[in-house]
Amino acid sequence: MPADPHAPDASSTDAELRLHLVRHGRTVYNVERLMQGWCDSPLTPDGEEGVVATARWLAQVPFVAAYTSPLGRTVRTTELLLAEHPTVRPVELDGLREFGFGDYEATSEAELFATVDPFTMFGSIVGGTFEGLAGGETGPAFRTRVDDAFGEIVARHPDGGDVLVVSHGVTLAAYLAVASGLNLADVDPLRHGPLENASVSLVAVDAARRTRVLDVNAGPWTGRAPGVAGGPGA
């Protein structure tokens, strides 16, 4: 009899925590290429469709909990994802919100990137050294709150299980850098490539809080079941 394609892979244990990290669906500002950190815009119709497809792909994952950034785009994404898991009630964590771009919120990417190299900027944001934009968040403050948020999630689930975490591109990239064991003083923000909207990255955390990145940028388009390792971080 063939193995259940949705079963955890053989390397997982009963006490292992599996964090399914989902970037929010495509938004109006994503389409318009505007900086979107603490500001917000709604999911587009095709953005919602993409999330629904991911929700169906994750339907057989036995989530024991769900956490989301409090921003509207992530809250809506979480709502659509949990339509397949009606007994799970999401918890909003402020530490999961996106990096704050200050005075550049809702301005064009081109305007910001004319003043700062995006690769350098995002690398120092993820690495926790960015001095910040005018009116915005600093890299150290960002790293601290992201680390604290994921530390809280892990602490809440000592018995392991599958947990959904819905957040943002830079925030999830920051956690994936830590989970990969990268040297944050010399981090490549695009090591895993830019995270796609409605994509799923999978991190396993053992009882000693050691982490393994099992998959990155996965989804129904991969042609394989969730929880089956195959991403560049595996």
pLDDT digits (tens, 9 = 90+) for 183-193: 555 555 555 56
Asked if residues 42 and 73 have their Cβ atoms less than 8 Å apart, the reply is: yes
pLDDT in tens, 64-106: 999 999 999 999 999 999 999 999 999 999 999 999 999 999 9
Work out whether the CA dihedral 145, 148, 153, 154 comes out positive or negative.
positive
Residue ranges for the known binding site are 23-30, 73
Residue 72 DSSP label: H
Q: What is the largest CA-CA distance in the chain?
A: 60
| Number of helical H runs and strand E runs in the chain | 7, 6
Q: How far apart are CA 57 and CA 19, in angstroms?
A: 16
Residue 206, pLDDT > 90, answer yes
Residue 166 lies in a domain: yes
Residue 231 lies in a domain: no
Q: Phi and psi of 177, rounded to 5°? A: -60, -45
Per-residue confidence (pLDDT) for residue 180, from 0 to 100: 87
Say which CATH number the domain at 189 has.
Answer: 3.40.50.1240
Range of the domain at 119: 17-222
Which own/partner pairs from 40-46 qualify as long-range (CB within 8 Å, at least 24 positions apart)?
A: 40/71, 40/72, 40/73, 41/73, 42/72, 42/73, 42/76, 43/73, 43/76, 43/77
3-state secondary structure of 104: helix
Residue 3 lies in a domain: no
Strand partners, 92: 68
N-terminal to C-terminal alpha carbon distance within the chain: 27
Asked if residues 73 and 169 have their Cβ atoms less than 8 Å apart, the reply is: no
Q: How many domains does the chain have?
A: 1
Q: How far apart are CA 118 and CA 85, in angstroms?
A: 38
pLDDT in tens, 128-185: 999 999 999 999 999 999 999 999 999 999 999 999 999 999 999 999 989 988 655 5
Cβ count within 10 A of residue 89? 9
Residue 229 lies in a domain: no
Residue 175 lies in a domain: yes
pTM: 0.89
Let me know the angle formed at the C-alpha of 86 by 77 and 98, rounded to the nearest 5 degrees. Answer: 25
Residue 9 lies in a domain: no
Residue 8 lies in a domain: no
Per-residue confidence (pLDDT) for residue 12, from 0 to 100: 46
Residue 221, pLDDT > 50, answer yes
Asked if residues 7 and 154 have their Cβ atoms less than 8 Å apart, the reply is: no
The amino acid sitting at 130 is F
Residue ranges for the known binding site for substrate are 23-30, 73
